[in-house]
């Protein structure tokens, strides 16, 4: 079964106030180089394993952090390393994430990345207005975004995503309309529009709790969502996931793997994987202290779909770049912990991840995967959600209604 590959680059020039991803500022060139060495060691270990060796990789996503903070040569080593060690499909989507502020004007980095096999770039743009970017703690301005897009095109990229945000402190619907129109003028193939989420522990969250962060009123946030959607759809973009829009044929294949609850391998510190493993987790790699069966949660349920032997596992790497690297330097997989995913849990995850997609969860695919229909498992929940006007059946798929799109948490929680 084809898989996706995620590679985590945990470095940022500056940590933004809203960010709770695994990223660290202040790493120097040497530290980055050693991290890339560790990534190559990890690829080495996985490439030799039967769980991965035979599988075709159909999408690669180098994310972060800020992958474009790496030197061009380092980016190239990562991408070449993947190509050499894994069975990359000829038409695989290979995305690198970048911050417009870390893309050099000459475009050397992007050129090296493109030449090493990247064919899609995702730029963190967020907004056009300088005061909003400053409030977010972004290190770039609108001009740098335009330059970065131009540099990407010169390097050969034609598949370009721009990340936008709405519901930002100080942002008005007019600001967001302006941002969307401007982003469209840069002619990307894909636009992600995220509503700001205050994650616990972030500076934004703390400021909000202390009453020092003023978010736009709900009505304004809703207006931004509505108007953004309308502008993007009018420009020919498909709204295919809660926060994602794309020109036809340009849906993000890597993220589709997550949303369809398919398999992926995560490389790099803190990266998550979801794979079917023939042997239990503790037998992965060389035995090492700290990873015992007790840390594998929920491992008792062994029932899997008919005709598909083996057990599904979610597991994740050590979060800190230092401990991650240390494990690899000892020659062991840097897995921190994991959980076996039983059939029932996999069904739940298939539902709440799949219901992020506007096409919904196909009953046919669900039945092919689990041997039972959605209604047979979740009949009562689905009926209630239908009565509440949050979900609907359409073309053999269960999907969110426009109302459900705004209240999706209420839908998803019904399946856990």
Question: Which parts of this chain interact with another protein (CB under 8 A)?
Answer: 6, 21, 63, 194-197, 218-219, 221-222, 242-243, 258-259, 261, 264, 266, 271-274, 314, 316, 339, 345, 348-349, 352-353, 356, 388, 405-410, 412-413, 415-416
Nearest to another protein of 86, 415 (CB atom): 415
Helix (H, G, I), strand (E, B) or coil at 163: strand
Nearest to 313 by CA among 355, 351, 342, 290: 342
Nearest to another protein of 155, 221 (CB atom): 221
Distance CA 234, CA 228 (A): 10
Distance of closest approach, residue 197 Cβ to another protein, in angstroms? 5
Distance of closest approach, residue 392 Cβ to another protein, in angstroms? 16
Nearest to another protein of 24, 272 (CB atom): 272
What is each CA distance from 40 to 76, 79, 113, 222, 265, in whole angstroms? 12, 10, 16, 44, 14
Residues 6 or more apart whose CB falls under 8 angstroms from that of 119 comprise 93, 94, 157, 159
Distance of closest approach, residue 260 Cβ to another protein, in angstroms? 12
Show the tokens assigned to 265.
């391998």
User: Tokens 């069904």 sit at which residue?
Assistant: 347
What is each CA distance from 196 to 46, 71, 126, 300, 415, in whole angstroms? 36, 30, 10, 38, 25
Distance of closest approach, residue 115 Cβ to another protein, in angstroms? 26
Nearest to another protein of 173, 266 (CB atom): 266
DSSP-derived secondary structure letter, 357: B
Distance CA 257, CA 59 (A): 9
The secondary element (H helix, E strand) that includes residue 313 is: strand 311-317
Nearest to another protein of 144, 317 (CB atom): 317
Nearest to another protein of 28, 219 (CB atom): 219
- Beta strand pairing status for 190-195 and 244-246? antiparallel
Q: Is the dihedral of CA 285, 290, 292, 296 positive or negative?
A: negative
What is each CA distance from 277 to 181, 243, 281, 309, in whole angstroms? 46, 32, 8, 9
Distance of closest approach, residue 82 Cβ to another protein, in angstroms? 17
Distance of closest approach, residue 194 Cβ to another protein, in angstroms? 4
Residues 6 or more apart whose CB falls under 8 angstroms from that of 98 comprise 66, 67, 68, 110, 121, 122, 123, 124, 148
Nearest to another protein of 107, 299 (CB atom): 299
Distance of closest approach, residue 261 Cβ to another protein, in angstroms? 8
Plot region of 298 (φ>0 → left; ψ -120 to 50 → alpha; else → beta)? left
Distance of closest approach, residue 219 Cβ to another protein, in angstroms? 8
Nearest to another protein of 202, 345 (CB atom): 345
Distance CA 130, CA 136 (A): 10
What is each CA distance from 315 to 36, 299, 300, 322, 400, in whole angstroms? 21, 12, 16, 19, 29
Nearest to another protein of 6, 35 (CB atom): 6
Nearest to another protein of 141, 349 (CB atom): 349
Helix (H, G, I), strand (E, B) or coil at 386: helix
């Amino acid at each position: 079964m084809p898989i996706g590959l995620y590679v985590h680059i945990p470095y940022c020039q500056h940590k933004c106030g809203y960010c709770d991803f695994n990223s660290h500022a202040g790493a120097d060139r040497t530290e980055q180089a050693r991290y890339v060495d560790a990534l190559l060691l990890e690829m080495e270990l996985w490439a030799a394993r039967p769980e991965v060796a035979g599988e075709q990789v159909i999408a690669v996503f180098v994310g972060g952090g800020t992958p474009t903070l790496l030197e061009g040569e380092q980016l190239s080593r990562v991408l070449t390393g993947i190509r050499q060690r894994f069975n990359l499909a000829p038409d695989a989507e290979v995305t690198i994430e970048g911050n417009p502020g870390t893309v050099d004007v000459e475009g050397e980095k992007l050129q090296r990345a493109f030449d090493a096999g990247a064919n899609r770039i995702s730029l963190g743009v967020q907004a056009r207005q300088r005061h909003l970017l400053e409030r977010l703690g972004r290190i770039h301005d609108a001009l740098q975004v335009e330059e970065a897009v131009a540099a990407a095109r010169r390097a050969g990229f034609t598949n370009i995503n721009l990340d936008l945000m709405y519901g930002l402190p100080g942002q008005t619907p007019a600001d967001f309309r302006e941002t969307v129109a401007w982003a469209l003028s840069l002619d990307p193939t894909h636009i992600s529009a995220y509503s700001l989420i205050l994650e616990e522990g972030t500076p934004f969250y703390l400021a909000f709790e202390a009453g020092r962060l003023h978010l736009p009123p709900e009505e304004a946030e809703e207006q931004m969502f509505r108007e953004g959607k309308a502008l993007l759809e009018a420009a020919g973009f498909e709204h295919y996931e809660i926060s994602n829009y794309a020109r036809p044929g340009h849906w993000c294949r890597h993220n589709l793997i997550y949303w369809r609850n398919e398999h992926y391998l995560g490389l790099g510190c803190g990266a998550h994987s979801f794979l079917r493993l023939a042997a239990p987790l503790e037998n992965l790699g060389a035995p090492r202290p700290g990873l015992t069966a007790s840390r594998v949660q929920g491992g008792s349920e062994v029932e899997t779909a008919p005709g598909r032997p083996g057990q599904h596992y979610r597991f994740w790497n050590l979060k800190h770049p230092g401990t991650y690297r240390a494990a690899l330097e000892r020659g062991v997989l840097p897995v921190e912990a994991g959980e076996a995913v039983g059939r029932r849990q996999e069904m739940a995850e298939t539902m709440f991840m799949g219901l992020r997609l506007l096409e919904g969860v196909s009953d046919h695919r669900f039945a092919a995967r689990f041997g039972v229909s959605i209604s047979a498992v979740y009949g009562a929940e689905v009926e209630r959600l239908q009565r509440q006007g949050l979900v609907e059946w359409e073309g053999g798929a269960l999907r969110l209604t426009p109302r459900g799109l705004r209240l999706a948490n209420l839908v998803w929680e019904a399946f856990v």
